[in-house]
Amino acid sequence: MGAALLTAAAVILVFVLFSGDEPAGQAGVSRAKSPTAAPTPSEPPIELPALPRATALKPLSGTPSPVLGTVTDAKTAIVYSKLGKPWSIKTIPLFSAGQRVGATGPPHTMIASSLFPGAKPVADLKTDAEYRRAALTAVRWTIRTQHPASSEVAWTASQKPATGKGWVLGYRVTYEVGGRKHNSQAALALLDIGRREPAMLFVTVPDTRKRLWADIAPLMAGARAL
């Protein structure tokens, strides 16, 4: 009896964690539960809306920041653009390389890379659907760790990366700060680097720095594996 109950609980948990992973006709909105670094066994999972069908990450209005060179993240084996002012290279907790504008607390203005957060995938990621599901898991992690509590998510993009295997998700994160509603534009790319653990590149910019939204699409388009 005990073993059967444990098995049933595991099946339910997997279903909740990955519900909505497959593309649907419309993008929705979902609310984050907690910003803690790692969920506890009693903490409910972050639910995300169903993904749209393949949707390109569109450039947002404004003038992109100057590109000064590249960031080579040796730990993740990826390279991406090093942006000029107001961006600057910073050490960002939980990430192996990063760039930041302004204060360290949420809502963040940051670009950061790391290996896939949490446990390694149980098998090599091969198909678009597998990378898409893994990207959803990574987005849940960013909502929990890098955005204000009770954030709501709406998808803006779901596509293959410009080069190589992987998946890119764009999303808008809505939240309250000081009793006023704000939102951040964010994007996350999982890139195949020839290992079981893919590389992750993440960017988020709040509406208080809306002019930097123009940096998001070019940054994602230029990221690639070494």
Q: What percent of the chain has pLDDT over 70?
A: 81
How does pLDDT run across 69-102, given as a tens digit for each residue?
999 999 999 999 999 999 999 999 999 999 999 9
Task: Looking at mean pLDDT, say which of 5-19, 35-49, 103-117 comes out highest.
Answer: 103-117
pTM: 0.81
User: Is a pLDDT exceeding 80 seen at residue 151?
Assistant: yes
* Nearest partner of 210 among 98, 142, 112, 109, judged by Cα: 109
Neighbour count for residue 66 (Cβ, 10 Å):
11
How does pLDDT run across 165-221, given as a tens digit for each residue?
999 999 999 999 888 999 999 999 999 999 999 999 999 999 999 999 999 999 999
Q: Which domain holds residue 105?
A: 2-225
DSSP H/E element including 131 = helix 128-146
Number of helices and strands (H, E) in the chain? 3, 11
b or e along 190-202 (b: 16 or more beta carbons within 10 Å of the residue's beta carbon)? bbbbeeebbbbbb
Is the separation of the CB atoms in 180 and 211 below 8 Å?
Answer: no
Domains in the chain, number: 1
* Nearest partner of 113 among 189, 169, 167, judged by Cα: 189
- 62: CATH: 3.40.1000.10
